[in-house]
Structure 1
């Protein structure tokens, strides 16, 4: 597997010299692991086999480097897991949950780099609209046409702050407000993978409530899955191992 060369992501972030392609490294992960959010007392009993885990296919990404990077397969799969848990917390039915988790799995697949890429949400939405049948077949999900359109709308604006929406983004948001809010929240929760605390989850930017226990759970999901990746596990096996560790 590709290994980050030179300085750690943590050091590069501090120097504001992060490269376009960013791969997790051991030093950065050690820092993340040693900086956990506050523990929560209300963590529910979770069974790993009951949690929906959808791993995006490597071929869906713009490059192999993007598939293995900070916005790649691991991020999409973790965002799916977190979206599933948020869907359960907010009472979504099975079809809306499938639409949300599918959107979560593919929301960053058309990124050109791991830095600022403000058009990637729109590109991913257009790509999903064109490829929905094949994507859903690969992921084993059944999402009706109207919910596919809602998922695409959520993907299109997932990366934009609410106060930065233009008329087109407002229209997209109005087509799928709940899916958008929950996708943005799930994406936010996986920000513990980023190499500076200034980029970590900030719920004040969101429009849905996140259960307190999901913050330490999301942090643990990053630490355990990325540790397994560094030890040679595949993306899917790394997430499966992490879920087994964090659930019962």
Structure 2
């Protein structure tokens, strides 16, 4: 395993938006990252420079396996994996192990991530609105999201 410390913000944004698009089952599906990379190649090839596109596919592919299997663990991959890890509250309280987060700043987000999940779940249960809208509303309520 090789570590590099370069952050490709464009690739990271695209990967954050697309890395779970091909998920078929939670959490047993371990190939969805590779399927997402294929989807990215087919659908986003003309939307971003080739270097960023290649990195976006890499991030989607390697965000699922353990770090030891990735040929290169770069800063962008570590950021995506930590953000993805913070989302594990939705799978139950035992699915997020803060010790596996790669950055100290990510560990500071464990409690806010849990509050965001819990509040958005309550909002969805109460209002039956779109879950994404409930997440945004919860984020605004908690001061995590601001509208421009």
Shorter-normalised TM-score: what interval?
A: 0.7 to 0.9
TM-score scaled by structure 2?
Answer: 0.79
Say which of 181, 184, 200 aligns to 2:81. Answer: 184
- Distance in 1 (CA, whole Å) between partners of 2:56 and 2:15 is 6
Measured against aligned partners, the alpha-carbon deviations of 1:183-236 in whole angstroms (never above 9, x if no partner) come to: 0000001111112x3312x24334333344311111111112222222211133
Measured against aligned partners, the alpha-carbon deviations of 1:50-70 in whole angstroms (never above 9, x if no partner) come to: xxxxxxxxxxxxxxxxxxxxx
Say which of 204, 210, 213 aligns to 2:105. Answer: 210
Q: Partner of 1:132 in structure 2?
A: 44
Q: Classify the secondary structure of the residue corresponding to 1:210.
A: helix
Q: Could you say which structure has the greater relative contact order, defined with CA pairs below 8 angstroms and 6 or more residues apart? A: 1
Shift of residue 107 of structure 1?
Answer: 1.1
Q: Partner of 2:65 in structure 1?
A: 160
Q: Partner of 1:147 in structure 2?
A: 52
1:244 and 2:144 matched: no
- Distance in 2 (CA, whole Å) between partners of 1:235 and 1:160 is 27
- Distance in 2 (CA, whole Å) between partners of 1:214 and 1:246 is 13
Task: Count residues in correspondence.
Answer: 139
Q: Partner of 2:3 in structure 1?
A: none
More strand by share: 2
- Distance in 1 (CA, whole Å) between partners of 2:100 and 2:81 is 9
Q: How does 1:44-123 map to 2 (within 5 A)?
A: 96-123=8-35
- Distance in 2 (CA, whole Å) between partners of 1:145 and 1:189 is 29
Are the equivalent residues in 2 in contact too, given 1:121–1:158 (CA < 8 A)? yes
- Choose 151-160 or 113-122, whichever is displaced more: 113-122
Say which of 172, 188, 194 aligns to 2:91. Answer: 194
Are the equivalent residues in 2 in contact too, given 1:121–1:157 (CA < 8 A)? yes
Are the equivalent residues in 1 in contact too, given 2:33–2:60 (CA < 8 A)? yes
Tell me, which stretches of 5 or more residues in structure 2 are unaligned?
1-6
Tell me, which stretches of 5 or more residues in structure 1 are unaligned?
1-91, 137-142
Cα RMSD, aligned residues only: 2.5
- Distance in 2 (CA, whole Å) between partners of 1:102 and 1:226 is 26
Q: Classify the secondary structure of the residue corresponding to 1:116.
A: coil
